[in-house]
Amino acid sequence: MNVTIINIGDELLIGQVVNTNASTMSKLLTEAGMKVRKTMVVGDVYDDIRAAVDEAMRESDAVLVTGGLGPTKDDITKKLLCEYFNSELVENEMALQNVKRIFESRGYELTPVNRVQALVPRCCEVLNNDLGTAPCMWFGGEAVLVSLPGVPFEMEWLMRNRVIPKLQETFSTDIIINKNILVQGIGESFLSDLIEPWELSLPENVKLAYLPVAGLTKLRLTARLPHNFPLSSFHFPLKGLYELAGKYIVGEDCETLDELVHKTLIEKGLTLATAESCTGGNIARLLTAQAGASAYFKGGVVAYSNEVKESALGVKHSTLETHGAVSEETVREMAEGVRERLGADLAIATTGIAGPDGGSEEKPVGTVWIAVADKTHTEAKLLQFGANRRQQNIDRSTNQAYAMLIRLICQKD
């Protein structure tokens, strides 16, 4: 089945806001086995929205519309939907109870302006929006139209919990199961050659996608199963993949390596400290952006200057003098120093030249040393990123460090 997405909002057309709704919706629909044919962004202009809806309804099985449902802004979307479906606005009891519930929970009085949020076209079915006051409206028919609020976290909750299940039911779509496998330390094209025999052996209902990002390749397996398939009897055929590329696989069932590190450390009850130079705090902040990081994250040092490498991490002055700040000796002392001083089981350290300036002939921009340490070992690795791009070098160093940490932890099992 084909889906068209229409995101409404002037803020999207002036570039004030990046349209993450389109990509979130596309990702969720794709993962659920539906095909997004087209996405469109139009402003808060009646005729433009109408033309987009007309076109989309002609060409798609389902049209998902976000935006234009707020209580104060000109509520063009609902009026337009009334006209399109030849219906009229009525107060919906479920939507009204939802608005009341949310206002009560926040300790606010319900005002007449807010009560307007419970008005919907008579012909629609309201899908309850547990997280907000704007209703989600389902219009059945030859092609389905669903109107959702544009607030990203409300939209995403509604997509996952209301809209996608109902689309799957309505169109009796196949069951789609996804599995992520995180692969690191091998380029995409080499990986592709290496695992080709396994890929060719995959059953026809299992598809493989390569999603490379910052030195990591996420392999996404997608299985399409008949509507009534007993899920417990399905397993992805991973044996051949592990036989061919097991040493490059760092984990499964996570979207990112920071998520994998977060889960692994919590699961194993290990603590971590970080000593970052060229990554500038990025390794720490991705971990601490996740709720529950305080269970394992002791702290970190962003050791940008040599003085700080000495005073806060205990890197020896002679090491910096002899080998320089970007060297194996320094990164090892950084990792060992921060682990000991912060009293952690494990440590990560980075030092390098992120660019665009600061390189030399011997150590060009993109030269990065990374170390991971536990109580008994320290592993260090030299990376040479050719590209003269600061953020990319930071992101790749971050992923490399996480992968080395996971490998260090898992060797110990």
Is position 324 an interface residue for a copy of itself (rule: CB under 8 A)? no
| Count of positions on this chain that bind a copy of itself (CB under 8 A) | 72
Tell whether residue 76 is a contact of a copy of itself (CB under 8 A).
no
Do residues 59 and 96 touch, judged by C-beta distance below 8 A? no
Q: Is 287 in the site for a copy of itself (CB under 8 A)?
A: yes
Q: Does 105 bind a copy of itself (CB under 8 A)?
A: no
Checking phi first, is residue 329 left (phi over 0); if not, alpha (psi -120 to 50) or beta? alpha
Segment near a copy of itself (CB under 8 A), from 73-81, 136-144, 348-356, 373-381? 348-356
CB of 362 to a copy of itself, least distance (A): 19
* Token pair listed for 56: 């989309």
Complex with a copy of itself: residue 98 or 282, whichever CB lies closer? 282
Binding to a copy of itself (CB under 8 A) within 110-149 occurs at: none
Q: How far is the CB of 271 from a copy of itself (least distance, A)?
A: 8
Residue number, 301 or 403, with CB nearest to a copy of itself: 301
Residue showing tokens 């392999």: 219
How far is the C-alpha of 404 from the C-alpha of 331, rounded, in Å?
Answer: 14
In terms of Cβ atoms closer than 10 Å to its own Cβ (0-12, 13-18, 19+), residue 79 is middle
User: Is residue 308 a contact point for a copy of itself (CB under 8 A)?
Assistant: yes
Cis peptide before 237 (omega within 30 of 0): no
405 and 372 Cβ atoms separated by less than 8 Å = yes
Write the DSSP symbol of residue 71. S
Report 172-231 residues binding a copy of itself (CB under 8 A).
209, 211
Q: Among 184, 337, 378, 353, which residue's Cα sits nearest to residue 279?
A: 353
| Segment interacting with a copy of itself (CB under 8 A) among 122-130, 249-257, 301-309, 367-375 | 301-309
Structure tokens at 138: 């389902």
Question: Exactly one of 311, 322, 384, 411 binds a copy of itself (CB under 8 A); which one?
Answer: 311
The verdict on 77 binding a copy of itself (CB under 8 A) reads: no
Is residue 302 a contact residue for a copy of itself (CB under 8 A)?
yes
The amino acid that residue 164 corresponds to is I
375-404: contacts with a copy of itself (CB under 8 A)? 390-391, 394
Q: Is 24 in the site for a copy of itself (CB under 8 A)?
A: yes
Compare residues 342 and 373 and give the one whose CB is closer to a copy of itself: 342
Contacts of 9 (CB under 8 A, 6+ apart): 17, 41, 43, 44, 67, 68, 150
Nearer to a copy of itself, 245 or 273 (CB): 273
